[in-house]
């Protein structure tokens, strides 16, 4: 068994820290109440769950690269397509709180398998629609699978983090990022060979096959102790104070996720436009700009566990947020292409671990419902980011609008410090 570089006490769920300082609660040491390790750091459960994160990113990217084909098929204008895509987000946001309750009732692992199966079944459907209304209806189902998968997977990951006594949450999100890169790359290579209907159908079939195989492994693995707020002594004065404080912690961590996702959404939609229009990069170089950002984020998440252990989660989030803010100012205001590309790489490295660590700590404080709330807030940030940037760009120019990402990253850097004090 491989031991963590630091005691698990440093990563004990926030709810236990809250209860430890509340009056009239048990005073036994925190380490004695933590769950025992029943899985190796790279055991079957962690591998299977990483596969699910990778599959989630792959399926979403498979759909994203085919959006232009589907738009032409349904003859949608830009505004009509925007409304249809909004249905995907609505389906995700409406589903997330429900999935949090399902995880509490049935366990996060079965809900993870069911959500990925639903997402795999929904992936081929947009290619068979012939109107904007039909596309919107299909994307509601797609969003339900995608949002449900994100809440259930993160809830299962939070439980596994507690079981392994290691801050391994960034490694799961590294799988998501790598899956997105793989899906975009494969989708781009097959764009001239396969039609959208065939490409999405093959993606859905692959998703079902992987879900069946990884789901069998995940469900057979020993269950991790579910991390959820302890209400067994809610009548006590200390617990009565601790639970509202835990909810406040979850909200603040959700705001951290929102600020981080604001930047991710803005960069995803506006990086190429900024490099082309403001920095005067070629079409190919502009595409490389976003790829460099995405690769930097994947790299940062691969090393996220090691950095979390060496630096501590709060310090890593502080340094990451400040690095992302500096990188965004550089990328937004740089007069040359190399400086702008360097700025986007720094943004990717800085933002890499903010979202996964915020979700992990929200799950530690509030269980699956904490994950659901923080994920919903985070997803909201990804929704509003591109829209806000667009309005600000019309009013003050795109470079100045992109500097708001630096402001959000700075807020994401300091919010976890406030959480730690609480």
Sign of CA dihedral 363, 6, 324, 284: negative
Domains observed in the chain: 1-24+236-422 (1.20.1250.20), 42-224 (1.20.1250.20)
pLDDT at 41: 64
* Cα distances (Å, whole numbers) of residue 263 to 78, 320, 379: 22, 13, 11
pLDDT at 35: 41
Q: What is the pLDDT along the chain (422 residues), one digit of tens a residue?
A: 333 344 333 444 444 444 444 444 333 333 333 344 444 566 888 999 999 999 998 998 888 778 878 888 998 886 788 788 888 888 988 898 899 899 989 999 999 999 999 999 999 999 999 999 999 999 999 999 999 999 999 889 888 888 888 888 888 988 988 888 888 788 878 877 889 899 999 999 999 999 999 999 999 987 655 554 544 444 444 444 456 777 888 899 999 999 999 998 888 778 878 888 888 888 777 777 777 888 898 899 888 888 988 988 889 999 999 999 999 999 999 989 999 999 999 999 999 999 999 988 888 888 888 888 888 888 888 777 877 888 888 888 889 999 999 999 999 999 988 776 65
**Token output for 103:** 């995880």
Give 20-27 contacts, CB < 8 A, sequence gap 24+: 22/237, 22/238, 22/239, 22/241, 22/242, 23/237, 23/238, 23/241, 24/236, 24/237, 24/238, 25/233, 25/236, 25/238, 25/239, 25/242
Indicate the burial class of 178 (C-beta count within 10 angstroms; 0-12, 13-18, 19 or more).
buried
pLDDT at 66: 85
What pTM was computed for the model? 0.75
């Amino acid at each position: 068994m491989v031991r963590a570089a630091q005691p698990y006490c440093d990563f004990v769920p926030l709810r236990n820290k809250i209860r430890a300082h509340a009056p009239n609660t048990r005073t036994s040491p925190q380490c004695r109440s933590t769950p025992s390790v029943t899985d190796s750091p790279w055991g079957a459960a962690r591998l299977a769950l990483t596969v699910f994160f990778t599959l989630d990113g792959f399926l979403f990217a498979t759909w994203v690269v085919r959006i232009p084909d589907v738009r032409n098929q349904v003859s949608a204008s830009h505004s009509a397509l925007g409304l249809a895509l909004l249905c995907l987000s609505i389906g995700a946001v409406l589903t997330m709180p429900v999935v949090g309750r399902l995880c509490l009732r049935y366990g996060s692992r079965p809900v993870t398998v069911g959500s990925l199966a639903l997402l795999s079944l929904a992936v081929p459907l947009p290619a068979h629609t012939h109107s904007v209304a039909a596309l919107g209806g299909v994307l509601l189902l797609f969003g339900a699978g995608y949002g449900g998968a994100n809440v259930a997977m993160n809830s299962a990951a939070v439980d596994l983090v507690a079981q392994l006594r290691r801050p391994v949450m960034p490694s799961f999100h590294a799988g998501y990022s790598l899956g997105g890169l793989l899906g975009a790359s494969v989708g781009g290579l097959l764009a001239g060979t396969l039609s959208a209907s065939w490409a999405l159908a093959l993606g859905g079939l692959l998703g079902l096959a992987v879900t069946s195989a990884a789901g069998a492994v995940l469900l057979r693995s020993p269950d991790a102790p579910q991390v959820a707020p302890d209400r067994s002594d809610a009548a006590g004065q200390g617990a009565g104070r601790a639970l509202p404080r835990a909810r406040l912690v979850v909200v603040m961590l959700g705001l951290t996720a929102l600020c981080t996702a604001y930047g991710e959404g803005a960069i995803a939609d506006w990086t190429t436009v900024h490099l082309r229009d403001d920095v005067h990069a070629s079409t190919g170089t502009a595409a490389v700009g976003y790829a460099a950002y995405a690769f930097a984020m994947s790299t940062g998440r691969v090393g996220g566990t090691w950095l979390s252990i060496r630096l501590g989660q709060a310090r890593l989030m502080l340094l990451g947020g400040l690095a992302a803010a500096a990188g965004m100012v550089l990328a937004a205001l740089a007069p040359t292409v190399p400086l702008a590309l360097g700025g986007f790489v720094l943004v990717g490295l800085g933002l890499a671990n903010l979202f996964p660590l915020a979700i992990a700590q929200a799950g530690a404080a509030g269980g699956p419902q904490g994950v659901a709330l923080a994920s919903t807030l985070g997803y909201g940030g990804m929704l509003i980011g591109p829209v806000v940037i667009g309005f600000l760009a019309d009013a003050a120019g795109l470079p100045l609008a992109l500097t708001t990402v630096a402001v959000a990253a700075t807020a994401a850097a300091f919010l976890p410090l406030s959480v730690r004090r609480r």
